[in-house]
Structure 1
Amino acid sequence: MQSSFPKTIYAIQHLAFEDLGSLEETFYQLGFRVRYFEAGVEDLTKALEYEGLTIILGGPIGVYETDDYPYLQKEIDLLKVRLEKNLPTVGICLGAQLIAHALGARVYAGHQKEIGWSPLEIRYATDNLLLPLKDTHVLHWHGDTFDLPEQATLLASSSVYSNQAFQVGEHILALQFHIEVAEETLEKWLIGHTCELRHAQISIQQLREDNHRYAQNLAETTAQIMQTFMKKFI
């Protein structure tokens, strides 16, 4: 029997060059289309009321900066309703922080920037979706962190921050790190985030070298994880 699950993935962007990356090809292979929504420019109501999968991507602003970026409050309000309805939702970096905040957890500036490639500590959890990431380097790129929402299951930690990924039920997944980064497009990040990188004294050359070393393996593992996540819907 053919699934009635909507065949378009909605993705909310907070920064033009932070897109679905390697995930796009995985979704195309699974028979999905992709539609992007630009936060701060487009009305996000359709994306956050959507009954299919909505992915909330990263960006350099903080969840708590609603005075400077008023659209964030509407995004948060719509997201709260979405999560209450248990609609399929994935958050990456800022997207994960927005999910944590919408679920009542505290999001705040961390004690240090975590930018660069390093492995995760995969936590014990029944049917942990992120098990394939054991011993795999992922890209971290954030300065904020969050407390674990009460109803969430912790999936992964890092040596810098304990809360790196969590799941709520079967439909809601939040990833602080960048699982979606594609090797061929990271250069856009290095250009677009140059001020942050230089202020934090992060080696751009090292990020580039590590991207060539680790990104392809991450993309292959990411595809496996997302295929598993989507099985419940298709």
Structure 2
Amino acid sequence: MTERPPVTAARGRPVAGFRPGSRSGCILIILHQESSSSGRVGHLLSLMGYAADIRRPVLGDPLPTTLDAHAGVVVFGGPMSANDADEGIHRETRFMDIVLKSGKPYLGICLGAQILVNHLGGRVAGREDGAVEIGWYGLEATPAGREMMDWPSMVYQFHREGFDLPRGAELLATADVYPNQAFRYGANAWAIQFHAELTLAMMHRWAVRGAHRFVLPGAQQGREHLAGRLVHDAALLEWLKQFLDRIFPAVPNQP
């Protein structure tokens, strides 16, 4: 099957305090709904100098057979489960083998993290008591995480399932309800359970379209999502800038 050419990410207004880098290449962006967006992650990667190849395997888009044409991969979240009997999810899970063997940087966010965990033989499941994390919740870096960088104390969550730490992975951040919040596998694979990518418009959409989940145990109401953003989002955005800068390093200047 002929692969689609990369789609260049749209330009946006500069993010305050963020200096565009000298990166080059194309990042494979995997989304899970027609209306999904790469949000601030996509915008920051564009400012860093990367183009974006956006694909939605659950809607039938093909995945590349190699990553020779890509500088890295980001897999975002979605309303489905990594355990679903969906061919698109199965293809993404098998695709993790290509990603890991390539040595290219990988970032899995929420569902993207859980897909990586499934590939590595870990367990993805909800809590027996049905508790969820939907809203703003505390985060604590592990010693390994603190050694790497400063982490936000509060993060935005929207999930009903968590994951066990895969064998060989290094835990970077933890929390009370779902203890495994961020990990690193090998040199270049990273996974986070929480969402730093949401723009304000995205959070409004999630709070409206996901309102039926606010009755779940532990979920916060929509007004708490938006009120928490005013207090906690600046620190979360600053962390995201530093985190992406670490995962997708600058390309050295060529002579």
TM over 0.5: yes
Question: Taking structure 1 as the reference length, what is the TM-score of the superposition?
Answer: 0.86
Aligned to 2:144, the other structure's residue is in SS state: coil
1:79 aligns with 2:99: no
Residue ranges of structure 2 left out of the alignment (5+ in a row): 1-22
Match of 2:84 in 1: 65
What is the alpha-carbon distance in structure 2 between the residues aligned to residue 223 and residue 134 of structure 1?
12
Aligned equivalents of 1:106 and 1:56: distance in 2? 18
Structure 2 distance, partners of 1:223, 1:47, is 30
Normalising to structure 2: TM-score of the pair?
Answer: 0.79
Of Structure 1 and Structure 2, the greater strand share is in: 1
TM alignment of 1:89-104, pairs within 5 A: 89-104=106-121
Evaluate the alpha carbon distance shift between residue 191 and residue 16 of structure 1 in structure 2; reply closer, same or farther with a 3 A threshold. Answer: farther
For residues 33-92 of structure 1, the C-alpha deviation after alignment (integer angstroms, 9 at most, x for no partner) is 2232123123342287454211000011111111xx222112211223322333321100
The correspondence of residues 1-234 of structure 1 with structure 2, limited to 5 A, is 7-46=25-64, 49=67, 51-66=70-85, 69-111=86-128, 112-125=131-144, 128-129=147-148, 131-135=149-153, 137-199=154-216, 202-231=220-249
Larger Rg: 2
Change (3 A) 1:30 1:125: same
RMSD over aligned CA atoms reads: 2.4
Contact 1:10 1:47 (C-alpha < 8 Å) held by counterparts: no
Name the count of aligned residue pairs. Answer: 227
Q: CA–CA distance in 1 between the matches of 2:145 and 2:175?
A: 19
- C-alpha distance in 2 between matches for 1:231 and 1:83: 17
CA distance in 1: counterparts of 2:152 and 2:117, whole angstroms: 24
The list of structure 1 runs, each at least 4 consecutive aligned residues, that deviate by more than 3 angstroms after superposition, is 47-51, 126-129, 198-202
Unaligned runs of 5+ in 1: none
